[in-house]
Amino acid sequence: MSSLNNTGGPLQVPGFGPIPLNYELPPKTRFAHGLVEYRHSPRLTMREMAMLRVMQHITEQSGWDQALLGRDDSQLAQWRQEAVATEEFLISAPAWDWCIAELRDKAQAWQETGRLLVFDSSSAVCQANVSLLQKDIQAEIARLGTQASHDSPLVDPSEFPLVYNRSPVLVEGGRVSLDDPWLLTGQTAKELPAHPLDQMRWRPREVSRRHGGPQSCWSNRFQWLPCEVEFASPTTPTPDGTTDVRITSYVNNLHPHHNQNLYAQLERLISCSIPSWNEILFYGEARGRHPPRILTYGCHIENYQEEHEEWQEKCDQVREYVLGPEPPVWKQARRLPKLPANLLESLTTQDWEDPRRVNSIARSKRIRRAWFDHPEPGISFSYEQWKKGQFTGRPIFPQRIGNFPDPLHHDYVPVRLQDKFQKDGLQVIVQISRIELAPESPNYQGEAYFHTEGLRNEHIVATTMYVVEAENITQARVAFQHEDKVHASEFECEEPDAMSEVLDVDYWEPDEETPPRGVHTFGSVRMVEGRLLSWPNTLRSKQEPFTLANPHQPGNLTVIKLRLVDPYYRICSTRNVPPQQHDWWAAEARHASNLDTRLPPELVHLVMEQTNWWPMSTAEARHLREDFRRDHQRAQEAAEKSEGHHLSALLPYDSPTDATELTGVNPQSP
């Protein structure tokens, strides 16, 4: 296989030359992504999820870092009271102590670097302040005009993308210059690249993780076109710890001559995003950025079964037994939601004459007396050990059986994009959007579903969102979730319902409901003016609804989104495809040939009308954009169908059956 190269010789990237569209590097030699590939394992416990939400909430409070580092006991006491009120029993004393220790480290890092990790488990969301850019970017984006609708960004990478068998591509070599992008004429590729679904022996009727899921996440018709980004040489950090970069090929749908100042601001944004990307990226075969804070493959059940003699005695004293004390509902190892709190109320006079009915109530009472405690942090390894990745594979209750044993220590390979890719640079896809609200249309409904960014042939591994302006709107937020899976054969517990509770798997009726989806939703993060939000493509995101703060005045949310292409790949970019916008080409052609001085206006207009298809008309581009969006939609639907469900309550814990065989999970994927 030829090495990937798009620097000016014959094009050697997926989908062109001898390289198939679905060419992929081994996971250990590239960064992880979540398009039917990486998922978190093992599933985080309910208590750890509560700890993550509490820590994230505290970091949104004004002066949170000073309160933690200054040891403001009254403020900490108030936050603890609020945490217990919200998360109840899950924020125990050990859990709170761990949160405070971790938050103090986060506060120290925030003050030293201006970056903050939240929801940090195998994946993490990184926040960074770059407010010095805000006013300059606002002025430049204002020059782009108004946005037609919420789903038509000002700079839309889905318009005039790479269209296989249609876009003019420099397949035989050459580079599109940022100074004169129209100097070279590209060639149209002769054939569409084969689609991975077509390469299967048969197309699956129903997409699943093992049948057509990964293949459905590719497109052999479209691809977003990234711009090329070059590191300054040498990569000397600037005073704020970033590295200077330069955009060397045009940003698709952003005219390089008319928006030179905005290009300079985008370079600064990319430069500020690189330290965040270094914090969140990890390799495809790694266990993720951080290990779990609580690792357990079981839990202890109290009062699970009495001795036989005791049970017979209880049956003889059913009435007194049934009226006996019970643990709170939240501690019950197995819940019986369809029965009344007082079991005696379910017995009629006739029922007392039926030994089977009395026996059933006694057994229900027996079930409800059994209880468990959620496992605590700091039991099998300390916070200091967790920070260093030491002994984090040592569980409270051992793993029973499984394909994915936990290493004793958590190894994380640090990432420094500016060093590793100083020569080749980066590829970045840029999108600029403005959601505008008015008194007659005061609501933004938010995104309909959680999604992973892009298609597999776009190889996106991280996203950065920069909030340029949030004017007269209620708080805008982005919610996050990741895919995971309960491999039931790894766990051992007398009561599966209790283990499901520990692992935050929703209760469900096997004969009446669909099993819970194999995902974990963390919560949401604020979108703040002048702040970068960055996350890896192993997380799914969804923008939440907002509305006008003052319903009598207009408002808007203006956002720049930067999507990082995995730099271990090279894909076809704007370095290899001359601009396809007819308006851009027409203006340059009129200027280069002096048409306005050589021909009367009516003939100039006629010439432009006769050539409005070249390189691509706006009407054709918008039609293709809808087709392109359907490809993205298909990929997201495939990812959702492939995620599987948690079936822990159905599997016997005394059987060595591997859960992966019953749930359709690829045993090679953690």
Contact 639, 36 (CB under 8 A): yes
In three-state form (DSSP H/G/I as H, E/B as E, the rest C), the secondary structure along 449-487 is CCECCCCHHHCEEEEEEEEEEEECECCCEEEEEEEECCC
| pLDDT > 90 fraction of the chain, expressed in percent and rounded | 59
Cβ partners under 8 Å of residue 357, min gap 6 = 347, 351
What's the DSSP call for residue 310?
Answer: H
Residue 668: the pLDDT is: 32
Find the mean pLDDT for residues 257-272: 95
Whether the predicted pLDDT of 592 surpasses 90:
no
Both tokens of 39, joined, read: 């998922």
Of the pLDDT bands very low, low, confident and very high (cuts 50, 70, 90), residue 657 is very low
Contact 282, 126 (CB under 8 A): no
Residue 135: the pLDDT is: 81
Residue 65: the pLDDT is: 97
Is pLDDT larger for residue 355 or for residue 77? 77
Residue 591: the pLDDT is: 56
Residue 665: the pLDDT is: 30
Find the mean pLDDT for residues 314-334: 79
d(CA 194, CA 211): 18
| Sign of the dihedral through C-alpha 384, 388, 393, 394 | negative
Burial of 641 (0-12, 13-18, 19+ CB in 10 A): middle
Residue 523: the pLDDT is: 96
Contact 539, 34 (CB under 8 A): yes
Of the pLDDT bands very low, low, confident and very high (cuts 50, 70, 90), residue 593 is low
Whether the predicted pLDDT of 30 surpasses 90:
yes
Bridge-based pairing of strands 477-483 and 443-444 is unpaired
Both tokens of 227, joined, read: 């711009």
Contact 635, 540 (CB under 8 A): no
- Tell me the residue length of the chain: 670
Residue 287: the pLDDT is: 86
d(CA 176, CA 170): 8
Looking at 315-319, 475-479, 528-532, which range is the least confident one?
315-319
Find the mean pLDDT for residues 401-410: 83
Residue 515: the pLDDT is: 81
* Phi and psi at residue 659, to the nearest 5°: -60, -25
Find the mean pLDDT for residues 183-189: 70
Mean of pLDDT over the chain: 87
Whether the predicted pLDDT of 499 surpasses 80:
yes
Q: Which residues, listed in sequence order, are joined to residue 536 by a DSSP beta bridge?
A: 462
What's the DSSP call for residue 28?
Answer: G
Looking at 21-35, 54-68, 190-204, 332-346, which range is the least confident one?
190-204
Q: Where are the alpha helices (DSSP H) in 488-581?
A: 496-502
d(CA 566, CA 563): 10
3-state secondary structure of 79: helix
Q: How far is CA 204 from CA 199, 256, 417, 528, 661, in A?
A: 12, 44, 39, 44, 19
Cβ partners under 8 Å of residue 342, min gap 6 = 323
Is pLDDT larger for residue 235 or for residue 444? 444
For tokens 């590097």, name the residue.
25
What one-character-per-residue DSSP string does 493-531 give? -S-HHHHHHHTTPPP--TTTSPPPBSEEEEEEEE--TTE
Q: For residue 407, which of 503, 285, 278, 284 has the smallest C-alpha distance?
A: 285
Cis amide linkage into residue 42, ω under 30° from 0: yes
Whether the predicted pLDDT of 653 surpasses 50:
no
Whether the predicted pLDDT of 258 surpasses 50:
yes
Find the mean pLDDT for residues 217-234: 93
Q: Which amino acid is at 268?
A: R
d(CA 188, CA 665): 40
Residue 550: the pLDDT is: 98
Instruction: Answer whether CATH 2.60.120.10 is correct for domain 127-199+210-288+422-485+519-575.
Output: yes
Q: How far is CA 613 from CA 25, 166, 596, in A?
A: 38, 12, 20
> Which sequence spans correspond to the domains of the chain?
46-120+290-297+376-388, 127-199+210-288+422-485+519-575, 301-372
Residue 494: the pLDDT is: 85
Dihedral, 379, 382, 386, 390 alpha carbons, nearest 10: -90
Q: Which amino acid is at 460?
A: I
Cis amide linkage into residue 615, ω under 30° from 0: yes
Looking at 30-44, 114-128, 563-577, 587-601, which range is the least confident one?
587-601
Is pLDDT larger for residue 229 or for residue 605? 229
Whether the predicted pLDDT of 136 surpasses 90:
no
Residue 650: the pLDDT is: 45
d(CA 571, CA 17): 12
What's the DSSP call for residue 390?
Answer: -
Residue 195: the pLDDT is: 83
Whether the predicted pLDDT of 539 surpasses 80:
yes
Q: Is 160 left (phi over 0), alpha (psi -120 to 50) or beta?
A: left
Global confidence as pTM = 0.89
Bridge-based pairing of strands 531-536 and 460-471 is antiparallel
Residue 487: the pLDDT is: 80
Find the mean pLDDT for residues 195-219: 77
| pLDDT > 70 fraction of the chain, expressed in percent and rounded | 87
Is pLDDT larger for residue 364 or for residue 622? 622
Highest mean pLDDT among 165-179, 197-211, 228-242: 165-179
pLDDT in tens, 420-452: 999 999 999 999 999 999 999 999 999 999 999
Whether the predicted pLDDT of 346 surpasses 90:
no
Contact 587, 255 (CB under 8 A): no
Q: For residue 45, which of 221, 239, 296, 268 has the smallest C-alpha distance?
A: 296
Contact 31, 123 (CB under 8 A): no
d(CA 559, CA 517): 31
3-state secondary structure of 412: coil
Q: Is 308 left (phi over 0), alpha (psi -120 to 50) or beta?
A: alpha
Q: For residue 430, which of 669, 140, 642 has the smallest C-alpha distance?
A: 140
Whether the predicted pLDDT of 394 surpasses 70:
yes
Cis amide linkage into residue 27, ω under 30° from 0: no
Find the mean pLDDT for residues 317-325: 78
Q: Which residues, listed in sequence order, are joined to residue 481 by a DSSP beta bridge?
A: 521, 540
